[in-house]
Amino acid sequence: MLSEEIARYILDTGYEDLPQAVREKAKACLMDWLACACAGSRLEPVRVMLDVLVPENNRGKCRFIGHTQSGDCLTAALINGTMSHAIEFDDIYKFGLYHPAAPVISGAFAVAEASESNGADFLTALVLGYEVSNRLAAAVNPSHYRFWHTTGTVGTFGAAAAACKLLKANEEQIIWALGNAGTQAAGLWECTGTMAKPLHAGKAAMNGVLAALLALGGFTGPPAILDGPRGFLKAMSAFAGAEKAIFASLGKGYTILDTTFKAYPSCGHTHPAIDAVLALKDDCPAGPELIEEIKVGTYGAALQVAGKGSPRSTTEAKFSIPYCVACALQDGKVVLDHFLHWPPPQSLVRLMNMVHLAGDEECEKSFPGKRGAVVEVKTKNNRYIKRVSCRKGDPENPLTLTELWTKFTNLASSVLDPNQWEAQKNILDHVEDLADLSMIQLHRG
C-alpha cells in the first residue's frame, strides 16, 4: 500500500539526509510563505476568522502571523494557512497544479511551535510534507483539477506528513493519519472569487494536523485511503495507477527543487499573459489610450480558472486575465495595490473590456510543464505580438535571491519591523540552528 511506503519514507528521512540544495530551497519556501502570510494577515477573511474563533486577548503556544493573539495548533494552522493563501502570492508546484506552502508550512509551523521542535526538525518536516504532497498532486492531475482545488485536497496529506514527522509518530500512526487526512480532503472549484479559496488552504493545514494528533492518540484511519478501490486516487482522478511511477523517486529526488515563487500577486494562470504584456511594452511605444484591441491566447486551465472578464471585486480580479493584462498595460507592473481597492479606475476598465481570450494550441501542448501565453495588441496603425513560453518564477526562469528578498520586504513591511530586517534574514537563513521557532518574528513588538 502506498501509505506504508510513505510512512517508511517519513520515518527513515532525517535532516542529515537532505542535500544542501534542498535545505536552502526549504528555507526559501519558508521565507516566501512568511511574506505571503504577513500581507494576507490584514485581509478580510483573516479578520472574520479571528473575530469568530479567537478572543481578543487569547494566548496559546502557537502564534498567528501579524497579530498579537495566539492559540492552539489547530487554530493556528487554520488561520495561518488561510492568510498565507489569501493574496494569491504563495508558491506553486506546477506539475501538480498545487500550492504547497500554505497547507504544509502552516501546519508544520503550528505543530513545531506547540511541540517546541528545533529548526532542523522543522525544516525536515517541511521538506517531507512537500515531497509527499507534490507527488500526490502530480499523480492525480490534470484531471483532478477540473473540479478539485488541489491545495485543499492534496495539501491535507502534506500537512499530515509534516505533522507526523514533528510528533515522532510511528509507522502505524502515520498510516492512520494519512487515512484520516484523505477522508477530510476537500475543496471544490466553485470557490473561485470568494473567501472559500483561501479557506481550502487553511482547512487543509488544520485537517492534516488534526489527523496526526488523533493518530497519536490511538484514532485509527483507513490504511488504503490512497490506492484502495474506493480511495483518493480512484475517486478523484482519471489517472489511478500514475502514482507508481511518480512515487518511485521518493527519497531519491526532491520535487521541492521545482518550486515556483510567484512574481505577481494573482492567480498563477494569469502570469504568462502578464509576462507577455510586460515584454511587449518594450516594443510598443503607444500609450494605453491608443490601444484598440487586445487578444490573449493561452492554455485551457488558465481560461477555466482565470478567464473571468468582468470581475466584481478584488478577490475576483486576482482570477481575471483581462484585469491583470490591463494593469500591466497601463502601469507597467502588477502589484498588490491593484488588488486592494475596488472599483478600479475607468482607464483600467476600458482596457479590460478590450481583452479577448482564446485557447492557444502551442500553449495547450506544453501545459502543465510550461505555462505560456501569446498577447496581441492592436493600435490604429500597428500590431504588436509577444509570445511567452515560460512564466517568470518557474524553475526554468526563477526569481533571483535578491528578487525573493525584495518580495519579502515589500509584503512584510506592514507587519514586521523593517529595523529588524537583517536580524530576521539571518534567522531565516539559519533556521536549522534554532532551538525552537520563537526567534522568528511574526509581528511587530
Gyration radius (Cα) of the chain, Å = 21
Pick from 278, 280, 274: which is nearest to 379 by CA? 280
> Taking a C-beta distance cutoff of 8 angstroms, is the pair 417, 441 a contact?
yes
Identity of residue 204 = A
Amino acid 193: pLDDT = 81
Residues 222, 332, single domain; the answer is: no
Amino acid 286: pLDDT = 67
Strands 355-359 and 62-63: what pairing? unpaired
Region of 187 please: left (phi>0), alpha (psi -120 to 50) or beta: left
Residue 240's pLDDT band (cuts 50, 70, 90): low
> Taking a C-beta distance cutoff of 8 angstroms, is the pair 375, 295 a contact?
yes
Residue 337 to residues 123, 215, 327, 356, 429, Cα–Cα distance (Å): 32, 43, 11, 24, 29
Q: Is 395 within a domain?
A: no
Amino acid 407: pLDDT = 97
Q: Is 222 within a domain?
A: yes
Amino acid 196: pLDDT = 96
Residues 202, 57, single domain; the answer is: yes
Q: Is 337 within a domain?
A: yes
Residue 263's pLDDT band (cuts 50, 70, 90): very high
Strands 70-71 and 62-63: what pairing? antiparallel
Q: Is 22 within a domain?
A: yes
What b-and-e string marks burial along 367-397, b requiring 16 or more CB atoms within 10 Å of the CB?
A: bbebbbbbbbbbbeeeebebbbbbbbbbeee
Residues 306, 414, single domain; the answer is: no
Q: What is the pTM of this model?
A: 0.95
Q: Is 417 within a domain?
A: yes
Residues 20, 90, single domain; the answer is: yes
Residues 126, 240, single domain; the answer is: yes
Residue 381's pLDDT band (cuts 50, 70, 90): confident
Residue found by looking up cell 504577513 in the block: 38
Mean pLDDT of 282-305: 88
As a whole number of angstroms, the distance between CA 229 and CA 247 comes to 19
As a whole number of angstroms, the distance between CA 35 and CA 31 comes to 6
Q: Is 109 within a domain?
A: yes
Q: Is 442 within a domain?
A: no
382: cell is 500597428
Q: Is 397 within a domain?
A: no
- Whether residue 192 is predicted with pLDDT greater than 90 in this model: the reply is no
- Whether residue 445 is predicted with pLDDT greater than 70 in this model: the reply is no
As a whole number of angstroms, the distance between CA 102 and CA 198 comes to 9
Residues 313, 364, single domain; the answer is: yes
242: cell is 500514475
Mean pLDDT of 199-210: 99
Residues 326, 413, single domain; the answer is: no
Range of the domain at 364: 268-388
Q: Supply the CATH number for residue 382's domain.
A: 3.30.1330.120
Q: Supply the CATH number for residue 195's domain.
A: 1.10.4100.10
Amino acid 246: pLDDT = 84
Amino acid 288: pLDDT = 80
Residue found by looking up cell 492525480 in the block: 140
386: cell is 509577444
Mean pLDDT of 269-297: 90
pLDDT digits (tens, 9 = 90+) for 159-171: 999 999 999 999 9
Strands 373-379 and 383-388: what pairing? antiparallel
Amino acid 4: pLDDT = 98
Q: How far is CA 191 from the centre of its chain?
A: 16
Residues 254, 144, single domain; the answer is: yes
Residue found by looking up cell 491535507 in the block: 156
- Whether residue 57 is predicted with pLDDT greater than 80 in this model: the reply is no
Residues 79, 181, single domain; the answer is: yes
- Whether residue 287 is predicted with pLDDT greater than 80 in this model: the reply is no
Strands 355-359 and 383-388: what pairing? unpaired
Could you tell me the strand order of the sheet in which 291-298 lies? 355-359, 291-298, 373-379, 383-388
For the chain, the domain total comes to 2
Which residues, at least 6 apart from 18, have a Cβ–Cβ distance to it below 8 Å? 26, 123, 124, 127
Residues 187, 117, single domain; the answer is: yes
Mean pLDDT of 8-28: 98
Amino acid 256: pLDDT = 99
- Whether residue 321 is predicted with pLDDT greater than 80 in this model: the reply is yes
pLDDT digits (tens, 9 = 90+) for 69-98: 999 999 999 999 999 999 999 999 999 999
**Percentage with pLDDT > 90 across the chain:** 87
Mean pLDDT of 197-225: 98
Residues 316, 196, single domain; the answer is: no
Mean pLDDT of 373-382: 92
Residues 37, 157, single domain; the answer is: yes
